[in-house]
Amino acid sequence: MARQNDLLMDISILYRSTQKYYDKKLANLSLTYAQLPILIAIYEEEGISMQKIALDGGYDKGTITKNVQKLVNLGYVIVQSSIKDKRAKELYTTDKTKEVMNQIYSIRRNWWKHIIQSIPSKKIEEFSYLYEDMAENAKVFADKDDEQVQFFDHQKVDLSFYTDKVSTVLSTAGCNFRCKHCTKRNLIFLNENRMELNLEDIKNFLEKRKDIYDAVCLKEPEPLMHQELAPFLRYVKKLGYLVKIQTNGSYPDRLKSWIDQKLIDFVSLDIKNAPSYYGETIGIPNFNTDIITKSIEILKKGQIDYDITITLIKELHDTNRLKEMAGWLKGVKQVTLMSNPSTMVENYHAFDQNEMNEALHIFKAVIPNIQIKGEAYVSGREA
Positions in the binding site for ligand SF4 (CB under 6 A): 175, 177-179, 182, 184, 220-222, 248, 282
CB of 365 to ligand SF4, least distance (A): 27
Contact by Cβ (8 Å): 312, 347: no
CB of 283 to ligand SF4, least distance (A): 7
Closer Cβ to ligand SF4, 153 or 214, answer by number: 153
Closer Cβ to ligand SF4, 178 or 208, answer by number: 178
CB of 183 to ligand SF4, least distance (A): 7
CB of 110 to ligand SF4, least distance (A): 48
Q: Which residues of 67-77 are buried (b: 16+ CB within 10 A; e: fewer)?
A: bbebbeebebb
Closer Cβ to ligand SF4, 175 or 269, answer by number: 175
Residue 219's nearest CA partner among 208, 204, 229 is 229
For every residue of 47-90, DSSP letters joined together read TB-HHHHHHHHT--HHHHHHHHHHHHHTTSEEEEE-SS-TTSEE
* Dihedral (CA of 27, 29, 32, 33) sign: negative
CA gap 148, 154 in Å, rounded: 17
Contact by Cβ (8 Å): 48, 91: yes
Q: Where are the beta strands (DSSP E) in 259-317?
A: 266-270, 305-311
Beta bridge partners of 335: 308, 370
Closer Cβ to ligand SF4, 182 or 356, answer by number: 182
CB of 374 to ligand SF4, least distance (A): 17
Closer Cβ to ligand SF4, 52 or 184, answer by number: 184
